[in-house]
């Protein structure tokens, strides 16, 4: 498979600076995880770059641990307690997420807050063109990914205990303010396009003020697929989830069709032969989502949403650049990621200019 598949798949030795006290962790698991028995062995997943993620293996089974990274962190970032809360609510609805098992807020156990969840075994694809699969399998997978996001946005979040999980309404104004502040706190160089976007975005927010649960980072590589069947069995990495705007969430997911090859992540589907691959076009994918969520008029203001999402991802990656600067970055690939901030901002500003024509 592709180089990202090799780079991020599976687990390896625990990285320097992310070591854990085996005895303390094993004692915690014995008292908080039902039917756990030692001895415990720990490996670290190559993915899960933002919050260090570990594979815990024992005679009683395998578990996954997600923890806040060590070091000085931006306010509200790496909220593993929120991940645990949303997983608990969604698991009860049958939405495919790993079963959450325990949340530990006692930082003496592992140095930072963490939670334990079940280990879901299956396939993770780091390349959006799903190498090695048939066109029919790719089509079925993309259809299921689309349906799950529609299902998530159609959920009544109040009825499943998430009424206080975020503030409904005024989502884009709050997000633009939040990411502008976090960008400024992490700024390592002046990027004109980011300055332009921070000025332009607040005054061009569409009137639609829908609200739903949003994942915040809904991407193929944040999902586990069944070992042999073309369907998703677990959606992972809920760190950025909240009560927000479904179109913000969906159009972020659409970046898979818009993203050029910047040397980070997958090259996207921008120049791929989608028909030959069996993957829907961007327009076909939008139509599917709109049908499933009752949006009879489609998605107006698509250029605004694209500008916003390129701005948002640039701000998120700038946070990684700030952590490189401060010496707390969790990934050896963080410096390459930081170099993508300026081109992402330029793309966002291109969409903003299109929206005002």
DSSP-derived secondary structure for 300-344: S-HHHHHHHHHHHHHHHHHHHHHHHHHT--S-TTHHHHHTTHHHH
CA 222 to CA 280: how far, in whole Å?
A: 20
CA 57 to CA 151: how far, in whole Å?
A: 33
pLDDT digits (tens, 9 = 90+) for 282-303: 999 999 999 999 999 999 999 9
Domains of the chain, with CATH numbers? 3-118 (3.30.200.20), 135-355 (3.90.1200.10)
Q: How many residues does the chain have?
A: 357
In this prediction, residue 133 carries a pLDDT of 97
Cα three-residue angle 268-271-275, rounded to 5 degrees = 100
Confidence grade of residue 136 (pLDDT, cut at 50, 70, 90): very high
Give Cα 212 distance to the centre of its chain: 16
In this structure, is the dihedral angle defined by the CA atoms of residues 171, 50, 333 and 97, taken in order, positive or negative?
A: negative
Confidence grade of residue 338 (pLDDT, cut at 50, 70, 90): confident
By the 10 Å C-beta count (0-12 exposed, 13-18 middle, 19+ buried), 81 is classed as: middle
- 51-58 contacts at long range (C-beta below 8 A, 24 or more positions apart): 51/78, 51/80, 51/83, 51/239, 51/330, 52/15, 52/18, 52/330, 54/11, 54/14, 54/20, 55/11, 55/119, 56/25, 56/29, 56/116, 58/29
Mean predicted lDDT score pLDDT of the chain: 90
Look at residue 3 and tell me whether its pLDDT is greater than 50: no
CA-nearest of 111, 125, 109 to 78 is: 111
How would you classify the pairing of strands 100-104 and 212-214?
Answer: unpaired
CA-nearest of 349, 322, 309 to 218 is: 309
In this structure, is the dihedral angle defined by the CA atoms of residues 319, 114, 167 and 288, taken in order, positive or negative?
A: positive
pLDDT digits (tens, 9 = 90+) for 198-214: 999 999 999 998 999 99
In this prediction, residue 266 carries a pLDDT of 58
8-state DSSP, 285? H
In this structure, is the dihedral angle defined by the CA atoms of residues 83, 287, 207 and 181, taken in order, positive or negative?
A: positive
8-state DSSP, 281? P
CA 234 to CA 223: how far, in whole Å?
A: 6
Least confident of 33-42, 170-179, 261-270: 261-270
Look at residue 73 and tell me whether its pLDDT is greater than 70: no
In this structure, is the dihedral angle defined by the CA atoms of residues 175, 179, 182 and 184, taken in order, positive or negative?
A: negative
In this prediction, residue 330 carries a pLDDT of 53
Most confident of the ranges 88-92, 108-112, 323-327: 88-92
pTM score, two decimals? Answer: 0.88
- Rounded to whole angstroms, what are the CA distances from 35 to 14, 32, 38, 60, 88? 25, 9, 10, 7, 19
In this prediction, residue 160 carries a pLDDT of 97
């Amino acid at each position: 498979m592709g180089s990202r598949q090799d780079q991020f798949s599976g687990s390896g030795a625990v990285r320097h600076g992310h070591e854990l006290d085996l005895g303390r962790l094993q004692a915690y698991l014995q008292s908080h995880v039902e039917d756990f028995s030692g001895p415990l062995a720990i490996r670290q997943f190559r993915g899960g770059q933002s919050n260090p993620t570990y594979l815990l293996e024992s005679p009683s089974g395998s578990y996954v641990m997600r923890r806040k990274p060590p070091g000085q962190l931006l306010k509200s970032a790496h909220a593993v307690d929120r991940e645990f809360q949303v997983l608990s609510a969604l698991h009860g609805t049958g939405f495919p997420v790993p079963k959450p098992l325990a949340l530990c807020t006692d930082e003496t156990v592992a140095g930072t807050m963490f939670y334990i969840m079940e280990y879901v075994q299956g396939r993770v694809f780091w390349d959006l063109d799903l190498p090695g699969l048939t066109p029919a399998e790719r089509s079925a997978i993309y259809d299921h990914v689309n349906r799950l996001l529609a299902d998530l946005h159609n959920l009544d979040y109040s009825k499943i205990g998430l009424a206080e999980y975020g503030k409904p309404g005024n989502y884009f104004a709050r997000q633009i303010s939040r990411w502008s502040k976090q960008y400024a706190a992490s700024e390592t160089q002046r990027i004109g396009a980011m300055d332009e976007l921070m000025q332009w975005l607040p005054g061009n927010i569409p009137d639609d003020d829908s609200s739903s649960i949003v994942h915040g980072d809904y991407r193929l590589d944040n999902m586990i697929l069944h070992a042999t069947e073309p369907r998703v069995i677990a959606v992972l990495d809920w760190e950025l989830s909240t009560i927000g705007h479904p179109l913000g969430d969906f159009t972020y997911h659409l970046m898979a069709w818009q993203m050029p090859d910047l040397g980070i992540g997958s090259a996207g589907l921008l120049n791929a032969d989608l028909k030959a691959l069996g993957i829907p076009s961007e327009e076909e994918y939008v139509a599917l989502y709109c049908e499933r969520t009752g949006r009879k008029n489609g998605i107006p203001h698509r250029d605004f949403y694209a500008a916003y999402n390129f701005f948002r991802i640039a701000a998120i990656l700038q946070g990684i650049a700030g952590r490189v600067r401060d010496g707390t970055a969790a990934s050896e690939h963080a410096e390459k990621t930081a170099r993508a901030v300026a081109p992402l901002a330029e793309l966002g500003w291109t969409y903003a200019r299109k929206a005002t024509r």
